[in-house]
């Protein structure tokens, strides 16, 4: 009983002392920090460290100068919408409320990195003519970012597939019902794009019930120089 009492007092004393100690240190730093210059200097330091850790779009690697960093995440089944990020700016997402079932496409000026426009086309019950009009209006020197959501392909006809192939897509000709698909191409590309992924909807390998897994693709696109 006596020992317990002593221990209790020691614990209380210790808590009081350490609280006081911490209060003292914090106050002391605050006082020192009263010097505006040092607060400013310190926050710059912290910012510099944060920038070193944060890569554009949350990517694994930084891009060299004169390259645009991008990340595309395809939709998850029919539940979570896709995201398209360029140079740390979200071009399309559920939060931006500019995505939908089917093909989600962002058009970007290949010289400046500026967003030209976005569009989403329902390829399950929509009209492919709307998507065709969007593709046909794309001008030379435009980057095309594409992410699938749910079903990107049922309504795709040969004309639409050929146009997408002309932007550098390899898989446009074989993409099918509920496949996961991500692609970056451009109007006026002479070669097939290295930035494209496709996972076929296949009962044997699907991650979700009726859909394959989500695709996440990131990389660096050289800025167009004229
Ligand atoms: C890209 O931006 C440049 C500079 O503003 C402009 O001259 C060019 O026409 C634009 N290209 C496209 C495809 O929008």
139 and 100 co-located in one domain: yes
Give me the pLDDT at residue 141, please.
96
* Rg over CA atoms, the chain: 26
Structural domain of residue 152, as residue ranges? 56-222
pLDDT at 21 over 90: no
CA separation for the pair 193, 87 (Å, rounded): 19
For residues 76-92, give the mean pLDDT: 94
For residues 9-38, give the mean pLDDT: 56
If one residue of 106, 107, 112 were mutated to test the ligand 1 pocket, choosing by the most ligand atoms within 8 A of its CB, it would be 112
Domain termination residue (choose one: 53, 77, 96): 53
186 and 106 co-located in one domain: yes
Question: Per the structure, how many domains does the chain have?
Answer: 2
Give me the pLDDT at residue 37, please.
56
11 and 107 co-located in one domain: no
Check if the beta carbon of residue 121 is closer than 8 Å to that of residue 103: yes
CA separation for the pair 180, 197 (Å, rounded): 8
If one residue of 114, 138, 141 were mutated to test the ligand 1 pocket, choosing by the most ligand atoms within 8 A of its CB, it would be 141
Give me the pLDDT at residue 226, please.
74
Who wins on pLDDT, 30 or 65?
A: 65
Where on the phi/psi map is residue 141: left (φ > 0), alpha (ψ -120 to 50), or beta? Answer: left
Give me the pLDDT at residue 33, please.
44
Give me the pLDDT at residue 140, please.
96
Backbone angles phi, psi at 162, to 5 degrees: -65, -40
pLDDT at 32 over 50: no
139 and 211 co-located in one domain: yes
27 and 85 co-located in one domain: no
CA separation for the pair 148, 213 (Å, rounded): 12
Ligand 1 atom 5, closest CA: 112
127 and 42 co-located in one domain: no
37 and 72 co-located in one domain: no
Check if the beta carbon of residue 212 is closer than 8 Å to that of residue 200: yes
40 and 64 co-located in one domain: no
Beta-bridge partner residues of 119 = 105
104 and 204 co-located in one domain: yes
Whole-number Å distance, alpha carbon 39 to ligand 1 midpoint, is: 43
Whole-number Å distance, alpha carbon 109 to ligand 1 midpoint, is: 6
Q: What is the pLDDT of residues 91-106, one digit of tens each?
A: 999 999 999 999 999 9
3-state secondary structure the chain: CHHHHHHHHHHHHHHHHHHHHHHHHHHHHHHHHCCHHHHHHHHHHHHHHHHHHCCHHHCCCCCCCCEEEEEEECCECCCECCEEEECCEEEECCCCCCCCCEEEEEEEECCCCCEEEEEEECCCCCCHHHHHHHHHCCCCCEEEEEEEECCCCCCCCHHHHHHHHHCCCCCCCCCCCCCEEEEEEECCCCCCCCCEEEECCCCCCCCCCCCCCCCEEEEEEECCCC
pLDDT at 26 over 60: no
Pocket of ligand 1, beta carbon within 6 A: 109, 111-112, 116, 139, 141-142
Whole-number Å distance, alpha carbon 36 to ligand 1 midpoint, is: 44
CA separation for the pair 150, 167 (Å, rounded): 22
43 and 13 co-located in one domain: yes
Domain termination residue (choose one: 36, 53, 70): 53
For residues 13-30, give the mean pLDDT: 55
191 and 94 co-located in one domain: yes
Tally Cβ neighbours within 10 Å of residue 59.
17
113 and 40 co-located in one domain: no
């Amino acid at each position: 009983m006596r020992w317990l009492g002593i221990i209790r007092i020691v614990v209380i004393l210790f808590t009081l002392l350490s609280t006081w100690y911490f209060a003292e240190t914090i106050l002391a730093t605050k006082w020192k920090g009263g010097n505006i210059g040092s607060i400013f200097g310190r926050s710059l330091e912290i910012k510099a460290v944060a920038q070193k850790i944060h890569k554009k779009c949350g990517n694994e690697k930084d891009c060299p100068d004169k390259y645009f960093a991008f990340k595309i995440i395809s939709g998850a089944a029919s539940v979570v919408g896709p995201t398209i990020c360029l140079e740390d700016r979200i071009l399309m997402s559920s939060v931006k409320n500019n995505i939908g079932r089917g093909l989600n496409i962002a058009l970007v000026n290949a010289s400046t990195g500026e967003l030209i426009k976005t569009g989403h086309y329902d390829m399950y019950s929509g009209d492919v003519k709307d998507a065709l009009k969007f593709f046909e209006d794309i001008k030379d020197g435009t980057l095309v970012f594409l992410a699938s959501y749910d079903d990107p392909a049922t309504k795709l006809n040969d004309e639409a597939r050929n146009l997408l192939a002309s932007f550098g897509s390899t898989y446009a000709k074989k993409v099918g019902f509920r496949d996961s698909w991500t692609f970056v191409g451009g109007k006026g590309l002479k070669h097939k794009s290295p930035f494209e992924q496709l996972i076929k909807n296949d009962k044997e390998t699907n991650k979700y019930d009726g859909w394959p897994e989500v695709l996440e693709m990131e990389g660096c696109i050289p800025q167009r120089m004229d």
